Structures are given as C-alpha cells and as structure tokens.
Amino acid sequence: MFDVIIVRYAEIALKGKNRIDFEKRLISNICKSLTIAGVSFERIKLIRGRILVYTSHSCYCLRKVFGISSFSPAISCSIDIDTIWKNSEKILPQLNSKSFRVSTQRVDKSCAIKSIDVDREIGSRIVDRTGARVSLKNFDFELCVEIIYGKAFVFSERIAGPGGLPVGTQENVFVSVCDPRGLLSALLLMKRGCSVTPVILGSLGKSGDTLLLLNSFGCSTTPIICKNYHEVTGILAGGSGILAIGNSLDDVSGILEQDLFRDFLILLPCIALSDAVVKVLLDSYAA
C-alpha cells in the first residue's frame, strides 16, 4: 500500500553552511542500514527538511539510525482533494476507533491549497463514510497529510527514531565497552555523531551481544581486544587520542590521577548517571 518513507530530522536542521554535509552523511547511513537489513529501495531523495526513501517496505530498521527524529510509511499522490481522499480511503480500515483527527502540514508553503481546507474536507468525508467522531485533542486515530514540493503524502503512523546526529559526522572515539556503563557511553557518543571503535579489556567472552547492539546502530568498526589500559593507550598514541570510559563519579578521580592518561582526552559520558538510569537507557536502546 505504501510507496515511500518520509524521514524527518531535527537537530541537523539547526546547522548552517555545513548542513548539507550532515544530510549527506545521514543518507549514507540510511542506505547502509537498509542494505544490511536486506530492504530494497528504488531511490533516496533529499529535499529541504525531509528525506524520501522510495520503497514499499516498512523500513523499521530506521529506528536505529542516529540523526532520524521520526519516519512514516506513506502513500504519495498529487495535490488534489479527490486524489488525497482516494488514497486516504486505503488507510481508513485502520480507523477502528471512535474518534479521529486529520492533520495536514505544508512543508512547501508555496502550495496554494491550505492545510485547514484539507483537514476540513477530508475530515468531513471520513465522518460521512464511517460515522466516527472528530476530536482534535483526545483522538484515537490520526490521518496525516504532508504537502511537499508539489506532492501530497498520506499516512497514519509516525515511528520515532533515536534522534541526535548521524554517526560519522564527528571524531572517532575509542570506547571501553566491558560493562553496561561503557556500552551506554558508546551509544551516547554515537548519538552525538562520533564514530566508535569498541575496546574490550581481557577476552571477547560475553561481549558478543554488546557488539551486536552497537552494530545495529551503525558501528561497523572491528573491536580492539586488549589485556589492559596500557595496551589501549599504546593504540591511542597512533590514533585519535580520544578515549571514552563509562565509569561512575566515584571512580573518576582515580582515573584522571593516572599518568597513563596524561596525554589523552578522556570522555566520561555516564559520569552522573546512576546504575538504575543506565539500565533504563540501555533497555530503551535494546528494545
């Protein structure tokens, strides 16, 4: 039924002259995610404020692409009330509730048709067809229409993405992922656009699940397995010189006092998080 995925981003829109670089990186990461998931697509189109992925698949793998705020499987059609209604009827079987609303957004403000006129006309036809009640605040079902540069897109679902910045737009960081705090540190840094090289102290052991979770969010770098932090700093000396550790506040003073880390930038993303908060955040990423 759907023929396109509307991808939205938030923080990238605040960028200035380098915004296009972030958009291109996000498109690259989307292509990579779809390819790994085995999702075929016709093409990907960048427009102002949106990325359109032309495919009939639902693309739920995009839930784990940093930089995406939300996405929607949609039906594309011409900007004409009768055509919009015809495609809206394909979604109406989902309206098995007592209340609904129609929400139209003009991404392209140059379009002559007004959002409120679409809301009223389509809403009126839904009432006549189903007898459902309109409720603008406490609704059970929402039919959405986005008007984007000469086309209308009809959908009913907004799927949340992880937000943040696209992975690869910032520096590479070596992250110790030996415990839950380290794993969360890696994810939080990836959300800020960093490319992450996982560092495992000791042996690979039970770290397989950790690497699978990181890979699902776009970390494709081969992990480094070291016996101790001395080996890690030796690797850092020839690399980015940035190391992230997920230690708690109680451990920070001991880490920073070690001459071992004197010449490196140490990041502590989880410094102020309790164990309970760390667990909740990790569970949300793993869901």
- 6-32: pLDDT as tens digits: 999 988 988 888 999 999 999 999 999
Task: Identify the CA nearest to 74 among candidates 102, 99, 53, 105.
Answer: 53
What CATH number should be reported for the domain holding residue 178? Answer: 3.40.50.620
* Residue 165: inside a domain: no
Average pLDDT on 209-230 reads 88
Average pLDDT on 200-223 reads 84
Same domain (yes/no): 179, 85: no
Q: How many residues does the chain have?
A: 287
pLDDT of residue 253 exceeding 70, the answer is no
Q: For residue 248, name the pLDDT band (cuts at 50, 70, 90).
A: low
**Which are the contacts of 232, defined by CB distance < 8 A and separation ≥ 6?**
174, 176, 199, 201, 224, 226, 243
Residue ranges making up the domain that contains 225: 172-286
- Determine the Cα–Cα distance for residues 223 and 236; give it in Å rounded to an integer: 14
Same domain (yes/no): 30, 109: yes
* Residue 185: inside a domain: yes
* Residue 238: inside a domain: yes
* Residue 115: inside a domain: yes
- pTM for the model: 0.90
Percent of the chain residues topping a pLDDT of 90: 59
* pLDDT for position 123: 95
Same domain (yes/no): 117, 204: no
Same domain (yes/no): 216, 193: yes
Percent of the chain residues topping a pLDDT of 70: 94
Question: Structural domain tally of the chain?
Answer: 2
pLDDT of residue 207 exceeding 80, the answer is no
* Residue 166: inside a domain: no
DSSP for residue 232 = H
What CATH number should be reported for the domain holding residue 112? Answer: 3.30.2130.30
Task: Identify the CA nearest to 143 among candidates 107, 103, 89.
Answer: 103
Count CA atoms within 13 Å of residue 15 on its CB side.
Answer: 19
- Of 160, 185, 203, the residue at which a domain comes to its end is 160
Same domain (yes/no): 45, 99: yes
H or E element in which residue 62 lies:
none
* Residue 41: inside a domain: yes
**CB neighbours of residue 188 within 10 Å:** 20
* Residue 96: inside a domain: yes
Amino acid (1-letter code) at residue 113: I
Mind listing the pLDDT tens digit for each residue in 132-183?
Answer: 899 999 898 999 999 988 899 999 999 999 999 999 999 899 998 888 999 9
Dihedral sign of CA atoms 264, 270, 271, 275 in order:
negative
- The more confident residue out of 247 and 268 is 268
- Determine the Cα–Cα distance for residues 236 and 243; give it in Å rounded to an integer: 8
Same domain (yes/no): 122, 224: no
Same domain (yes/no): 54, 148: yes
* pLDDT for position 205: 65
- The distance in angstroms from the start CA to the end CA of the chain is 27
Same domain (yes/no): 18, 136: yes
